[in-house]
Structure 1
Amino acid sequence: MKIILVCSAGMSTSMLVNKMRKSAEERGLEASIDAVAESQLKNNLEGTDVVLIGPQVRFLEKKIRALVEPKGIQTDIIDQIAYGMMKGDVVLDQAIALKK
């Protein structure tokens, strides 16, 4: 499963990625999880299953959906509370639920 988090290149999203990777590893789930700036998203879509949008860039949702949904990639805005509390397990659950 390939998950991309879209952010404004902030450090907090990188911290969340690390927590999501740890949660995936603990579950025995094979997952590629990375954070990219919105400007780099189109260059990183190959093989992507889910794109999660950071709450701080939620204003880009319409643009991102127009880019990824025609490719069959599921997308949603990261739950703001889970993001703020850096709950990697909850955000990973969000991504898994989208893929189903």
Structure 2
Amino acid sequence: MKILVVCGAGASSTFVAQRLRHAAASHGFSYTAFAGTEQSLPIDLDAADVVLVGPHLVHVLDQIEHAAESRGTTVVLLPPDIFTDRDGSRTLRLVRDAVGTTGGLSPTADTTPTSG
């Protein structure tokens, strides 16, 4: 699953994406998380299954949801205190809750924990 984390300038989204990648890997999920900005969203959206929107972008949430809808992409508005999620586990739960246990993808998609 490819997860885009969007913020205004890309700084806070970079931290959230990095923590989310670490949490996913530590739980055995092969998720990719990458950072983007409000300006790069039209391009980045094509590569994402899930978009996590920084709380400071609530004013453009409707536009993001509209753009994502035609692509079948799930959009999640992150809570204002998400930056306190130091290990990414809370962000990972938000993603998993938003897409369900199958990851919202086809049954062949690799969204299950790996053994090891």
| Larger-gyration structure (1/2) | 2
Is 1:5–2:5 an aligned residue pair? Answer: yes
The 5-angstrom pairing of residues 29-68 of structure 1 reads 29-68=29-68
Normalising by structure 2, what TM-score? 0.78
- One-letter code aligned to 1:86: D
CA contact (8 A) 1:4 1:51 kept: yes
Structure 2: 5+ residue stretches without partners: 101-116
**Distance across 1 between alignment mates of 2:8 and 2:45:** 17
Q: Which has the higher helix share?
A: 1
Q: Which residue of structure 1 aligns with residue 83 of structure 2?
A: 84
Partner of 2:72: 72
Number of residue-to-residue matches in the alignment = 99
Q: TM-score, normalised by structure 1?
A: 0.89
Aligned-pair RMSD on alpha carbons?
1.4
- Aligned 8 A contact 2:7 2:13 in 1: yes
The 2-side partners of 1:95 and 1:25 are apart by 14
1:53 and 1:10 mapped to 2: Cα distance?
Answer: 11
